[in-house]
Amino acid sequence: MGLLDGKRLLVTGVLTDSSIAFNVARLAQEEGAQVVLTGFGRLSLVERIAKRLPEPPPVIELDVQNTEHLDTLADRVGAHVDGLDGVVHSIGFAPQTCLGGNFLNTSWEDVSTALHVSTFSFKSLAVACLPLMKEGGAVVGLDFDATKAWPVYDWMGVAKAGLESASRYLARDLGRHGIRVNLVAAGPLRTMAAKSIPGFQEFEESWPAKAPLGWDLADTAPAAKACLALLSDWFPATTGEIVHVDGGVHAMGA
């Protein structure tokens, strides 16, 4: 018996095999789930990466800033599965001006892009998938602890604070549909998104030393496993929650 036997999942955010979503998709398939991926931008690249999964899944195009993509998502996913039991939001983007110590000078235009892609899209994705979730299910998003002001994370930190709040409101409004909404707050991981943060090495140097359990910046499996647990039937009464998968850093003093 796999943890996710019989579950039908939509997993967003696979870009490379270092993407957190890649490990979510891989482990979910190993645990018995049927997976559909969405890809953004160069779909041929995502399709190539998808072939490295145990069972190459279908890849559907989704730009969360594109209303037509969102409006047609349920139909396009529905061509591959007869419903969804889980949705993984593993999407984040901020223009370079939003990161790296430029907080006081970033334009609203750039901040609005970060919020649209990284925050508002959590709601857009969940609502776009709602027609396929008639039997209830779980929505899981990827967070970075937004209770503190970090070095260099800047407006992405604000976007994540918004994500944490949006997750609680989604939990409120989707509960009546039997849908649980939770976040996994991961520690820093060396993915494409992280490499685009100027000064990311500040996290790389300090995090493993601060974490009581230690922290491997190259291992996305702990965060992915937490996503699987939240997608499974083993958190039936948990929603609006943030599970920290960071080696314990969030619980430590300075």
Q: Which amino acids are annotated as binding site for NAD(+), given as ranges?
A: 13, 19-20, 63-64, 91, 160
Element (H, E) at 222: helix 221-231
Alpha helices in the chain (DSSP H): 20-30, 43-50, 67-71, 73-78, 108-115, 121-129, 154-174, 192-195, 201-210, 221-231
Which x/- pattern, by CB under 6 A, does the window 173-212 give for ligand NAD?
-------------x-xx-xxxx------------------
First to last CA, the chain: 43
Which member of 9, 88, 91, 230 binds ligand NAD (CB under 6 A)?
91
The DSSP output letter for 56 is P
241 belongs to the binding site for ligand NAD (CB under 6 A):
no
Contacts of 99 (CB under 8 A, 6+ apart): 152, 153, 154, 155, 156, 196, 197, 198, 199
Identify the active-site residue in 153, 169, 195, 210. 153
Q: Quote the least distance from Cβ 132 to ligand NAD, whole Å.
A: 18
40 belongs to the binding site for ligand NAD (CB under 6 A):
yes
- Residues in contact with ligand NAD, counted by CB under 6 A, come to a total of 28
Residue closer to ligand NAD, measured from CB, 5 or 67:
67
Residues that bind ligand NAD (CB under 6 A): 13-16, 19-21, 40-41, 62-65, 90-93, 117, 142-144, 186, 188-189, 191-194
| Residues recognised as catalytic | 153, 160
